[in-house]
C-alpha cells in the first residue's frame, strides 16, 4: 500500500491543494497543462468529499425524520 492510499480524504485534498499552488507558482498560472491537470485532481477530491458529506447528511435526515413525513400518502384526483 502506498502513502496516498493511507491518507485521509482531507489530507489528500490538502496535499493536492498545496501541489496545485506550487505548480501555479512554478508555471505562472492556470494555462499550463500540469496546472490544469492538478486542478482537475483537486476538483475530483472535492467532489468525493461533497458526495460523502451529502450522503451522510441525507442518511442522517432519513434516520431522524418522523415516519409520517417519510410515508406520506397523497390522494390522487379521481
Please give the domain boundaries of the chain with CATH numbers for all domains. 3-64 (4.10.280)
Grid cell listed for 5: 492510499
Question: How many CA atoms within 13 Å lie on the side-chain side of 33?
Answer: 0
Q: What count of residues does the chain have?
A: 78
In this prediction, residue 65 carries a pLDDT of 45
User: Does the reported pTM lie above 0.75?
Assistant: no
Per-residue pLDDT 10s for the chain (78 aa) are 455 455 788 899 999 999 999 999 999 988 999 999 999 999 999 999 888 888 876 565 445 544 443 333 444 454
Q: Burial code of 25-52, b = ≥16 C-beta within 10 A, e = fewer?
A: eeeeeeeeeebeebbebbeebeeeeeee
Amino acid at each position: 500500500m502506498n502513502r496516498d492510499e493511507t491518507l485521509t480524504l482531507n489530507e489528500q485534498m490538502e496535499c493536492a491543494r498545496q501541489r496545485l499552488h506550487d505548480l501555479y507558482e512554478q508555471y505562472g498560472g492556470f494555462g499550463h497543462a500540469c496546472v490544469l491537470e492538478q486542478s482537475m485532481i483537486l476538483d475530483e477530491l472535492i467532489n468525493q468529499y461533497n458526495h460523502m458529506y451529502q450522503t451522510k447528511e441525507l442518511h442522517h435526515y432519513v434516520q431522524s425524520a418522523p415516519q409520517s413525513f417519510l410515508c406520506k400518502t397523497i390522494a390522487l384526483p379521481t
